[in-house]
Chains A and B, each alone.
Chain A
Amino acid sequence: MTEIHLKNVHKAYGELEVIHGINLQVQTGEFCVFVGPSGCGKSTLLRIIAGLEGITSGTVEIDGSVVNDVSAAERGLAMVFQSYALYPHMSVYKNMAFGLENSKMPRAQIDERVRNAAELLQITDYLDRKPKALSGGQRQRVAIGRAIVRDPKAFLFDEPLSNLDAELRVVMRKELSALHAKIGGTMIYVTHDQVEAMTLADKIVVLQKGIVEQVGAPLELYNRPCNAFVAGFIGSPRMNMFEGHAVRDAAGLAISIEGLRLDLSDLPSIKDGDKLTIGIRPEHIAVHADGLGELTTTVKVTEQLGGETYLYCDAPGLPQITVHQPGQLPIVKGQALSLSFSRAQMHVFDATGKTVANGLTV
């Protein structure tokens, strides 16, 4: 049962600061996912927790005790690396037993633990093989097994699925989720793939440029992003974003973007002339076959996936609009398409990107 607490953690390489004061608490048994674009510092943060990187200032606490000066070996955490980092010259069994041998565990106990973990991960048949004789998915299991046998305080995963093909990734994702349910334990998982984050996490930490943008449950981030970055990062395909200025007209304060008028009168914090960004997710845009929507666009690309359809539409003066519709639509490239936008699911961001409103009421 492990709680990990970061307090005002800074990390700099020489002059270059890459982590700018991060405060974060990971609760016991929680599956916490760090997500962000490459270079956002998520892997560095994980390595800081692991003890593989030192910090410039702040404290890292594990179960209430400060571990800033405790070596990686002594922190009692286990890590699964992106490259798996299996020892190529050792058999699968040896790979899994290595950590236990180092802590001077009796042989019988090592054997029992390794076999139990192998059973759990269904790799018993491969115990005598060398890593190079395994497929990517099997290596991944061995790497996880190596972490499990140590019965660590917490599991750290550094983009563990990114070397697998798409199909296997989905399978392993489910298995990881099941594994967490089975063995419990605190897990911290780093990924740049927001789908992995959404599907696995109890709590998602969105990072950008070394700062935490938002922490929350997956759907909370999806429904109530606290800024434009999180709104854009979470959700696939990306949220559509339109820029414009608030203008007071006869009917009150509103924003008009190329013929699309949004009433902002219930947002008192917005003043006349403010630069705003409007965001709306592809699935919250409705298609009007009768042509009576708010905006007429031209379909540039259609992606018919059978179960769902993605439409990429151009409208003069606007960035390309992505529309997601369930089922199969008889729409072809070049066709004119009338769209309408659900006000209740519209997000408004101010000039700095901060969320002004998640959903308009009028």
Chain B
Amino acid sequence: MALTIDLPLQLLQITFLLAIAPLIVGITRKVRARLLCRRGPPLVQPYLDIWKLMHKDAVVADNASWVYRRAPYMIFAATWVAAGLIPTYATGLLFSWSADLIAVIALLGTARFALALAGMDVGTAFGGIGSSREMMIASLAEPAMLLISFAVALIAGTTQLSAIASLFSTGDVGVRVSLGLALLALIVVGIAENARIPVDNPATHLELTMVHEAMILEYSGRHLAVIEAAAQLKLVLYFSLIACLFAPFGMATGEKTALALVVGLVTFVLKLVVLAVLLPIAETTVAKMRVFRYPAFVGSAFAAAALAVFLRFVSRGF
């Protein structure tokens, strides 16, 4: 297809994700507040927050280095690029082949690396606590994530996200235990990686329970805004990953007609909203865990993903 159509479609994807991410977070906050019998902030509050933070002065600690000041943009860029490479409303976009599922996971690793370094830069106890815990969680969540990608890739015979989505949307794959387990594991990993309850509380400022918030404790102004935007983008990234791997219906997989694209876009937004409603419901039913219960929780994702890989061998057709 001509570059003139492909390029705008790819651009649409990356700008659309960026634009919708705060709204999705707004929905989760609203639903959560409603479940707790509060009225909750308006849906557009995350946009307003980012706007406000952007226009404030950035207060930087005296001994902060360039790592501290560059890290937010690095985190944001890595998350954004990763998000832009996941098929959302259509498969086979212009750059979809430039990184596969494993590369997307690794890009998130790059963002995490920058974030953990930023937490250590100023040399405060809280930054260190956050970084060290984040890396502990990641050291369990990342292998689980890679095993999930193994399970999916072994079934689909490819690690290309577009190809996986196209294959799964045909329905030929059927209902599989492996995929169910992989979904389960992906949800757990997503919760852990996005600092949601029960692993971390995105709204906490209670010092000793923080992980994500502890790392970014020193940040303010535009730096904080960029990090917040990256965190929102990451949530949407995981939602679209779940949608792309386990509910790829509605996606424009074949010829990119206007109708198919609009259908794809609408179903994608619907999927995001459904997940954004389900997440706080799940969150309100559990309590936050102690830090040293995390390994068991994230480890269960690892176990489920490993089981998914093994069970793939007793499935139909192999």
A and B: partners?
A: no
Taking beta carbons and an 8 Å cutoff, which residues of B are in contact with A? none
